[in-house]
Amino acid sequence: MNDNPPIFHPPDKITVSIKENNQVGDVITIINATDADCPKTGNGLIKFSMGDRFLSIIGQNGGYGNGQYYSAQPSNYFQLDSDTGKLKAKVKFDREEHQQFSFLVHAEDQPGI
């Protein structure tokens, strides 16, 4: 039976710091969620995905002025492994260009086998 939705840990939101001038491919964090359904049937499997837009607070040299918001696709900057929840950097981050990112991650309940 597939009657339990995925639950994030922590349940509300997470905040992570990204090392400036990181390496492309660095793991930023691992998104955690669980499903109480039986994993042997496939009902307990979870697939992660990113929302299609994010907000970024642009830094002083970002071309938009300090503290302004910019909207773009998270997949331009981040790679999320849909099976493991590993969030990796696709670019080198520079605080002067982007001070903060905010976006949604979805945990989708998988149908049973």
Domain range annotation of the chain: 7-109
CA distances in angstroms from 21 to 42, 47, 89, 92, 107, listed in the order given: 40, 29, 11, 5, 29
Q: Distance between CA atoms of 13 and 59, rounded to whole angstroms? A: 23
CATH class of 7-109: mainly beta
pLDDT band for 89, please (50, 70, 90 cuts): very high
pLDDT tens-digit series, residues 9-45: 888 788 888 888 899 999 999 999 988 877 677 777 8
Distance of alpha carbon 63 from alpha carbon 80, whole angstroms? 27
Highest mean pLDDT among 11-15, 56-60, 87-91: 87-91
Query: Any idea what DSSP says for residue 9?
Result: S
What pLDDT is recorded for position 58?
58
